[in-house]
Structure 1
C-alpha cells in the first residue's frame, strides 16, 4: 500500500520496505527486481531511519503483490491473490450508504482470511472501524494493521468521494522508532499501546451515499494503490451539516460567523471547505429556502405572503422573484402544476 502524501518528500519508513523484503525471503524469492523498479538501493534497508517517497512505496508494493501473488504481502497465514481487494470493493458498490458498504467490506474480508476480524460500530456519534488480531502477526503486526486500516479508509473515501477526517487512531503495538511518520499515515491523534486497533471518525459519514459504479471501479483499479495515499479534499458531510443547520436552526445561520461557531469551525475553514466541495454558503441557503418553499406550497394551502415570511423573505415580491429564478415558475404556477 502507499503511505504518504503524493509528493516528492521521503516520508515512508524503510521498515515497510523491509517487511516486503522479508516476505520475499520467507518464500525463497529474490526482491532485487522489485527494489530496482522502486529505485531503492539495498544499502538503504540497513539504515533504520531511512525514508522513501510515496511513489517508491507504490512501485515496490505493486511489484511485490504481483510477484508474490499476494496482496497481503505476507501478513496472513494464506495468500490473498492479486485482485482480492478489488473484489471486496466490487461487493460494496451496490450498497446504499457507506455504513452498509463498510459492513460488507468487513464481512467479506473475513472470507479471505480469519487471521484478523474487522467490524464497524458506532456510539454517541462516533464511528469506529476495529481490527482484532485473531492470531499473532509477529514482526509483521505493524505493517499488516496499518496497511489494512489505511486501505479501508481509502476505500471509504473513494466510495463516497469524500474526505473522512479521523478523530483518533488507536493501535495495540508500542510506538515504533519511526513514530513521527504517523502524522502522515493518519490525521488526528494516534494512540499506541491501546486496547484495540481502530480508526474513529464522525458517524455521520456512515450515512453518506455510495457514489461509485462499475465504470468508476474499473478506472480506479488501474492504480488502486492510490486509494491509500491520495488525500481527499471534498467533505460531503460538511455540506449536509450546513444544510441541516440552515433548515433546523435558522437562529444559528444569520451569518457565516454564527454558523461556523455552531459547527465548531472558524469562518475561514467553513468557507474553504465549502469551496473545496464546490458549494457556497449563499448557494446552500438558497437551496434550503427553495426546498422549504416547495414543500409548503405542495403540502399546505397557506397564502404566498405567509410562505414568503416562513422561508425568510422580507416581502412577497422578493420571494416571488427568487422562486421564479429557482423554478422558472411563479409560486402560484408551481402549486397549480403540481396539484393532483
Structure 2
C-alpha cells in the first residue's frame, strides 16, 4: 500500500478528496486502506491505480517530477527506440529523450569494465529525491531494455540516493541484482554484453506493450535470485504445511546460520517472508474469489479461522471480512 500512497501524493495535494476516493474505487482499492500503512494491494490493483492516476493528472509519471510527463510520452519514446540497431544505442536515445523533459534531474550514461551505468544526477544542489519517481525510472530503464531485447537484461546492481525504507523487501524483490541505499546518485548497472546486443521489434508489437503499461516494465523483471523470492517459491506449494527454516536450509544446501545471515542482509527473516506470502495469497483470494474465510484459513495452514483472522488483522489492520467488503464495495 505504500506504493499506492506515493502514487496518490501529488493528487492528494492538487485534487479534491472525492476525486481521490473515486480514483481508488476505479482501481478496486478500498479508501479505508489509506489509513493502514501495512495493507497490501494486488498487482492488478497496482496497475489499475497507476493508470487511473496517470489519466486523472494527464501525467504518465504521476506528478513525481517537477513537470508533468503528458499522456503519449511513453508511446513516442518507444517509437523513437524501435529503429535503433542495439540496446546501447536505444539507451543513449532514452537518456537524451528524458533529458529534454526533466528539470530537476538528468540521466547520465557511462561505460566501464563491462558495465553500462545509467544514473539520475541532480541538476542543482539540494534536489529532493522522490523514492517512487526514482524507482519507476530505474524500472523503466530495465523494463524497456528487456522488452526490446525480448529477454531480461542482466542487472549488476541498483543503488538509490535516498535512505533505506521500512519496506526495503519490496525493492529487493522488484529489482534484479543487489539493491543498496544512501548512494551518491540513483543508478542501475546493466551488463555491457546484453546492451551490445541487436534486437528487432515491430510497431504492431509495441501497441500491446503500451496497452499493458506499466505492467510489463514494472513486473516483468523481478529479483528471482533474492533469498526472499527463492523462499516464497519454496513455500508456496507447501503453504499448508508447517515448514521450518531447517527444511529451507536443506533445500538450498546452506546452514541455518548462513541462511539467517542472508535474510538479515535483505532486511527480512524466514518467518516474515512466510507471513508476507500468506498475507499476499489471502489478499488476492479475498479480492478475486468467493472462498470462505474458514476455507482460506485452512488452505494457508492455520489451525482455525480465528487464528487466521487475528494474523490477517495484524498484517493489514483489517479483518478478512472487512477487507473483502471494502474491495467489493469499490467495484
Higher alpha-carbon deviation: 140-149 or 92-101: 140-149
**1:172 paired residue number:** 161
**Correspondences of 1:271-282 after superposition (within 5 Å):** none
The alpha-carbon deviation at position 82 of structure 1 amounts to 0.7
Structure 1 gaps, min length 5: 1-13, 234-340
- Per-residue Cα deviation, 1:76-95 (whole angstroms, up to 9, x for no partner): 22211111122111111111
**1:106 paired residue number:** 95
**Structure 1 residues 48, 230: CA separation in 2 closer, same or farther (over 3 Å shift)?**
closer
2:136 pairs with 1:144: no
**Correspondences of 1:294-305 after superposition (within 5 Å):** none
**1:294 paired residue number:** none
**1:15 paired residue number:** 2
Measure, in 1, the Cα distance between the counterparts of 2:73 and 2:29: 27
2:170 pairs with 1:181: yes
**1:27 paired residue number:** 14
**Correspondences of 1:182-197 after superposition (within 5 Å):** 182-197=171-186
2:98 pairs with 1:118: no
2:50 pairs with 1:61: yes
The alpha-carbon deviation at position 232 of structure 1 amounts to 5.6
**1:44 paired residue number:** 33
- Per-residue Cα deviation, 1:70-120 (whole angstroms, up to 9, x for no partner): 111111222111111221111111110000001101101111222221122
State the SS of the aligned residue for 2:83. Answer: coil
Contact 1:75 1:137 (8 Å CA) reproduced: no
The alpha-carbon deviation at position 137 of structure 1 amounts to 5.7
- Per-residue Cα deviation, 1:135-179 (whole angstroms, up to 9, x for no partner): 5564x6101100111011110001111211311111111111101
Measure, in 1, the Cα distance between the counterparts of 2:162 and 2:94: 24
Contact 2:85 2:199 (8 Å CA) reproduced: yes
State the SS of the aligned residue for 1:102. Answer: helix
Superposed CA RMSD = 1.8
2:187 pairs with 1:202: no
State the SS of the aligned residue for 1:128. Answer: strand
Contact 2:175 2:221 (8 Å CA) reproduced: no
Contact 1:71 1:80 (8 Å CA) reproduced: yes
Contact 2:81 2:93 (8 Å CA) reproduced: yes
Q: 2:64 pairs with 65, 75, 81, which one?
A: 75
Contact 2:176 2:221 (8 Å CA) reproduced: no
State the SS of the aligned residue for 2:183. Answer: coil
Contact 1:23 1:73 (8 Å CA) reproduced: yes
Q: TM-score, normalised by structure 2?
A: 0.63
Measure, in 2, the Cα distance between the counterparts of 1:213 and 1:32: 39
Q: 2:200 pairs with 211, 217, 242, which one?
A: 211
RCO higher in structure (CA 8 A, sep ≥6): 2
Q: How many residues align?
A: 219
State the SS of the aligned residue for 1:31. Answer: helix
State the SS of the aligned residue for 1:222. Answer: helix
**Correspondences of 1:238-277 after superposition (within 5 Å):** none
State the SS of the aligned residue for 2:8. Answer: helix
Contact 1:172 1:197 (8 Å CA) reproduced: yes
Return the index of the structure with the highest Cα Rg. 1
- Per-residue Cα deviation, 1:35-66 (whole angstroms, up to 9, x for no partner): 11222112212222222221111000001101
Contact 1:106 1:118 (8 Å CA) reproduced: yes
Contact 1:103 1:119 (8 Å CA) reproduced: no
The alpha-carbon deviation at position 209 of structure 1 amounts to 1.1
Contact 1:166 1:201 (8 Å CA) reproduced: yes
The alpha-carbon deviation at position 21 of structure 1 amounts to 2.0
Measure, in 1, the Cα distance between the counterparts of 2:127 and 2:15: 20
